[in-house]
Structure 1
Amino acid sequence: MNGIWQKLRTMAHFHPVAWGVIIGTFLSRTGFFMTIPFLGIYLGKGKGIDPATVGAILAASFLVGTLCSFVGGALSDRLGRYPVMIASMAAWSLTLLGFAYANETWQFFLMSSLNGLCRSIFEPTARALLADVTPPERRTDAFQARYFAINIGGAIGPLLGLKLGAGSTSSLVPFYISAAIFAFYAIALVVLMLLFRQGLQEKSKATPMQEMVRVVFSDKVFLYFLLGNVFLAGAYSHLDTTLSQYIGHDRIEAYSFLFIINTLSVVILQYPLAKLMKRYSSLTSLKAGCLLFGLGLFGFGVFENLVLLAFSMVVFTAGEILSFVIGDVLIGEIAPSHLRGTYYGASGFAFIGQSASAWFGGILLHSLGFGQGPLIFAILMLLTFIAYPFFHRGQQLWELRLGQSRTNQASCSIELTKS
């Protein structure tokens, strides 16, 4: 309880804009999880689309996100965080309305692509803004609070969606409500912009786009982190795609229950895991997250008992906490302040793992069948483990860079003393 109280006291000193991002994250993720996690079920059961095509539709979101996330982050460095966030959130609201009125397969491909576009532009910009207004010593707490908000929304959203008929063709209310929530958040961002724009680092027009690309993709530590994150992002994508089809096709209540377990696990595990991993480097945390992610995925395919599935979700969620909270903090450590949005945007290239994994998971279900859960999820586990050597190499380079930095600082101190 002492630790939790200290966390609450720390959070009380967040910048008002940081609170706006955190509370807005809760609202938007509640709306997001009311509809998108059920989209695979909606398309399969409600619209009669086969699993491979459903996987491709869901993959389109991740693919477009991969192609556009760097542009969104870079634009936020050049044009300012608020204009990019407001425009993408307003467009996201209209996209959710589009899902409600779509009937043809190509229309779902279009809406899924727009969903990925809006998400990939908004998310890195919001994370960059949160890092902008938060001192380095409090960033871990701020990103933990944001991640907590994501998961509370991830618990409430599916329950509301289920009550409102998400996953069937009988009710379009979840899409309407989600669109309204996103529109409200866009308006709230306009208010925040008017109240708190002064004093924030909003633009970095001096750095050409080509130079941004060169700086980011010549950073070897970041590149190894990004390559490893491709496989972790792919592992996480199965929660909304492969798992939703595998369990949701005949046990939709069990699928919703697992989302609740996911949120409870975040509430219970986030603080002790964060405290534990402060003893280790960020990339060590990512390596541990990689192993837990894979083991949790394997459990989803092996177990049918609800208790054991819940245990698998706890393991999966532990990997999720270590991978994504620490990953956001690591980018803040690596990135120069004037290119922070660009780095967060470039991290969106990990969506290529989500795109490929969502499609690949659908193909496995279609070709091997729903009765081959252990084999399907064993394959997915092994793909997740590929992230480990990339993080290990990145850790070696990061420690070398830190060592060189300390040596240079010591040399400068000696020179100053002599002078």
Structure 2
Amino acid sequence: MRIFGGLPRMYWYLWTGMLINRVGGFVALVLSLYLTADRGLTPSVAGLVVGGYGIGGIAGVLLGGVLADLWGRRPTLLVAHFGAAVLLVGLALTDRIAAIAVLAALLGLMHSMPGPAFVAAIVDVTPADDRSRAFNLQFWAFNLGMAVASLVAGALAEVSFTLLFSVDAAGTLITALLILWKVRETRPEHHARHETAATPGGLHTALTDPAFMLFVGLSLLLAVVTLQTSTILPLAINADGLRPSAYGSVVAYAGLLIVVGQLFVPKLIGRWRKGTALAVANVLLGLGFAYVALADNLYGYLIAASIWTVGSMIAAPPNAAVIAELSPEALRGRYQSVFYLVFPAASFIAPAAGGASLEHLGNWHWAICGALGLAAAAGHLLIQPARERRVAKQRAAERFEVPIAG
């Protein structure tokens, strides 16, 4: 079976850059721990600072998509990575809380900017028949890099947070230099002219599409629950008296489980309806995070991680498929950009609300996460029939070249 071969060389430069960047990109994983353990902030205040990182990410997603089309993929990637390296050095050197908050927000912007440019570049250089395999390998690299980053982050946090920021900056700089050296501009020369002349509608079409926005809303619930891993979970582990390396081990274990298990998920859920698969995934995610309330040692957290990680693996294939099938062919980029905002939005909501929830409600916070997972599961089952009718109607219209209003 062909897994790694046959893809363009330029794709592999992009893939390598993403992998190096992810291995080095571990500051966001321990930012809340740094603010509470090293800077003495309360969980609520730390959550707001980390939430600022998410706000910056929202702006970064939009800015990155616009610049990738106006400037090109390569300049956008270079600005984002060189900018992030400078900001990480700033975080390593400053101890003023106000400055840390501003730098964190700007870092969120720079960390989110490359996403649309990376995706656009991969589409530019990869033949249509190979794109599914290319993005599967991208997802695999993301989780492999996350697993390694988690182990490194936990170990470095026990030595020095300044060293942690410095190593992250070095990894980001290496990615920028690789892009500068090996990645050419991939944007088609006719892109801008074609975009303005031939593409109907705009972001408002996606934002006023009821079926799509219901799905986006449920995906936001999923993302808020999932991002407890990188925002609130470190605080719970620290409160149980475990060392930072324990958190690194939990996240690394989850990442490695995805790297190994994701290969078998498509066959497991191949005959399931997409809404059913997403419902099962959300139930498992909710149960996994609810189990954190019972965990008080490393083994308990590993059990919880096993449950929520299986949910994450089941969610990935149908999630991508639903986005693709709800997107009109001429507006796929805009629909993707709207969906992409889910993650920086969740990066703000998860720590901002989660920090206060954990501080004032204790372990009931994790019960609330479980309830959110169950609510999202119910939502997917409820909207499934209408969404399937919408998709069938859209496909029939496209066969007969009849335009469908969003």
Range class of TM-score, shorter chain = 0.7 to 0.9
Which residue pairs with 1:20 in the alignment? Answer: 13
Which residue pairs with 1:153 in the alignment? Answer: 145
- Give yes or no for the alignment of 1:383 onto 2:375: no
For the Cα contact (< 8 Å) 2:199–2:331, is it kept in 1? no
- Give yes or no for the alignment of 1:110 onto 2:99: no
- Tell me: CA distance 1:341–1:128, structure 2 relative to 1, closer, same or farther (3 Å): farther
- Tell me: CA distance 1:201–1:82, structure 2 relative to 1, closer, same or farther (3 Å): farther
For the Cα contact (< 8 Å) 1:140–1:329, is it kept in 2? no
**Structure 1 range deviating more: 20-29 or 317-326:** 317-326
Which residue pairs with 2:251 in the alignment? Answer: 259
Instruction: For structure 2, list consecutive stretches of 5 or more residues without a partner in the other structure.
Output: 402-406
Shift of 1:211: 4.2
- Aligned equivalent of 1:119, options 100, 105, 111: 111
- Give yes or no for the alignment of 1:233 onto 2:223: yes
User: Which residues of 2 match residues 239-278 of structure 1 at below 5 A?
Assistant: 239-249=229-239, 250-251=241-242, 252-278=244-270
- Give yes or no for the alignment of 1:179 onto 2:169: yes
Q: Which amino acid aligns with 1:403?
A: A
CA distance in 1, matches of 2:96, 2:353: 23
- Give yes or no for the alignment of 1:366 onto 2:359: yes
Instruction: For structure 1, list consecutive stretches of 5 or more residues without a partner in the other structure.
Output: 1-5, 413-419
Q: Which gives a bigger RCO, structure 1 or 2 (Cα 8 Å, sep 6+)?
A: 1
Shift of 1:82: 2.5
User: Which residues of 2 match residues 8-407 of structure 1 at below 5 A?
Assistant: 9-33=2-26, 35-163=27-155, 165-166=156-157, 170-194=160-184, 197=186, 203=192, 205-206=195-196, 211-249=201-239, 250-251=241-242, 252-324=244-316, 326-335=318-327, 339-350=331-342, 351-368=344-361, 372-373=362-363, 375-392=364-381, 395-407=384-396
Q: Which amino acid aligns with 1:32?
A: G
CA distance in 2, matches of 1:256, 1:360: 23
Shift of 1:286: 2.8
CA distance in 2, matches of 1:410, 1:158: 47
- Tell me: CA distance 1:138–1:208, structure 2 relative to 1, closer, same or farther (3 Å): closer
CA distance in 2, matches of 1:291, 1:130: 33
TM-score, with length taken from structure 2: 0.87
Aligned-pair identity (%): 23
Count of equivalent residues = 397
User: What's the C-alpha RMSD, in Å, of the aligned pairs?
Assistant: 2.9
**Structure 1 range deviating more: 398-407 or 107-116:** 398-407
- Tell me: CA distance 1:73–1:281, structure 2 relative to 1, closer, same or farther (3 Å): farther
Which residue pairs with 1:3 in the alignment? Answer: none
For the Cα contact (< 8 Å) 2:80–2:110, is it kept in 1? yes
TM-score, with length taken from structure 1: 0.84
For the Cα contact (< 8 Å) 1:125–1:341, is it kept in 2? no
For the Cα contact (< 8 Å) 1:60–1:355, is it kept in 2? yes
For the Cα contact (< 8 Å) 1:226–1:349, is it kept in 2? no
For the Cα contact (< 8 Å) 1:26–1:149, is it kept in 2? yes
CA distance in 1, matches of 2:64, 2:275: 26
Shift of 1:377: 0.2
CA distance in 2, matches of 1:253, 1:121: 30
